[in-house]
Amino acid sequence: MSRRKIGMWMYQNGGGDVIENKLIQGLKEREIETISGLNLRSADAHNGGIFCNGIAMDSLDLYFTYNAGEQTLYQTYLYEILDRYIPIINSFKGFALSEDKMKTNMALKAAAVSTTDFYLCHRDDVENIKATMSDWNAKIVYKPVDGWGGMGMALLENEDDLNMILPFLNQIDIRFLYVEKFMNYDGTDYRVDVVDGEVLGCYGRRAKKGGWRTNVTSGGSVFLRELDDDLADIALRATKSVDLDIAGVDIIYDQDREEYVVLEVNGIPAFATPEQEALGLNFNDRKIEKIIELIDRKTSIQS
């Protein structure tokens, strides 16, 4: 078998560069060569193939794309095309599903995994949103379906709040309105890390005082948290339902329904930063090893 060669695009901040080096070293020990820094932003394509930094992407044995920044339409367009010719971790299908909260919720429902109550309608059907709000008899969360880091969301307590944001929403080019029932939870969540059908670890995040979002970018803080079998099972089923090889599943405990509820499934869950490792989040190395095994398996010639 000729030497296997994979492409990689990995985030570099928050210790990502160190993780990348460990991945590359581990792959090398298995005789897999890695070409890093392959950002599809700088790729182009022609009859000869898709090229990035002089590398024929569609001739690689696999592409590992793990960069948390928002991807442009150009990058995702090439991601989708490339996925037809070589294995990609995560697959484009999984990426596209998990990037979209509405599509994710539908996939979770179909797999009988508990998720938030959600409602989607045409941008002009504001009356439907109002009716839903009154049916739920609860606060609602307006969310962009493709947002991240808790950005662009609004907690609406009543119709007046909704009326207040509508002129703003009408100014931006939204296709539809998507809202969720505001879950009655204690302001903490579970982030469960999954690779290749195995749970590798878990930690918690706590919203800042007076806040309702647990995201670190929204002021939330990370803490050590134990995992139980129920949570592990939910995380595995959620990951499978959106076709991801690598996932970070966000789960909260709904105090009204008295059950765990999946909020979203993240396809590019960050590794623990050096500061979080110092706090005791100690599963980076196991996650790296598991990813190396996964890449090894996916690039092995099937007999």
User: Could you list the residues that contact ligand ADP (CB under 6 A)?
Assistant: 101, 116, 141, 147-151, 180, 182-183, 185, 189, 207, 212-215, 250, 263-264
- Residues numbered 229 to 268 that lie near Mg ion (CB under 5 A) are 250, 264
Q: Are 82 and 95 in contact (CB under 8 A)?
A: no
Q: In this structure, which amino acid lies at residue 1?
A: M
Among ligand ADP, Mg ion, none, partner that 223 touches (CB below 5 to 8 angstroms by kind): none
Cβ-based nearer residue to ligand ADP, 34 or 276: 276
Phi, psi of 186 (to 5 degrees): -85, 15
- Residue 147's binding partner among ligand ADP, Mg ion, none (Cβ under 5 to 8 angstroms by kind) is ligand ADP
When the beta carbons of 100 and 250 are compared against Mg ion, the nearer one is: 250
Q: At what angle do helices 101-110 and 229-241 cross, to 10 degrees?
A: 110
Q: Which does 193 bind (CB under 5 to 8 A by kind): Mg ion, ligand ADP, none?
A: none
Q: Whole-number minimum distance, CB 140 to Mg ion, in Å?
A: 17
212-227 burial string, b = 16+ CB within 10 Å, else e?
Answer: bbbbbebebebeebeb
Compute the CA torsion angle 32, 36, 41, 47 (nearest 10 deg).
Answer: -40
Please report how close the Cβ of residue 33 comes to ligand ADP at its closest, in angstroms. Answer: 34
| Least CB distance to ligand ADP at residue 205 (A) | 7
99 binds, among ligand ADP, Mg ion, none (CB under 5 to 8 A by kind): none
Tokens of residue 88, six digits: 């990609």
Helix axes 126-136, 159-171, angle to 10 degrees: 150
Judged by CB under 5 A, the number of residues near Mg ion is 2
Could you tell me the smallest distance in angstroms from the CB atom of residue 266 to Mg ion?
6
State the binding partner of 149 from Mg ion, ligand ADP, none, CB within 5 to 8 A by kind.
Answer: ligand ADP
- Which partner in ligand ADP, Mg ion, none is near 148 (CB below 5 to 8 A by kind)? ligand ADP
- CA dist 141 and 25 (Å) reads 44
| First and final C-alpha spacing in the chain | 12
**Which residues are bridge partners to 190 per DSSP?**
204, 251
Tell me the three state secondary structure of residue 205. Answer: strand
Nearer to ligand ADP, 213 or 287 (CB): 213
Chain residues binding Mg ion by CB under 5 A are 250, 264
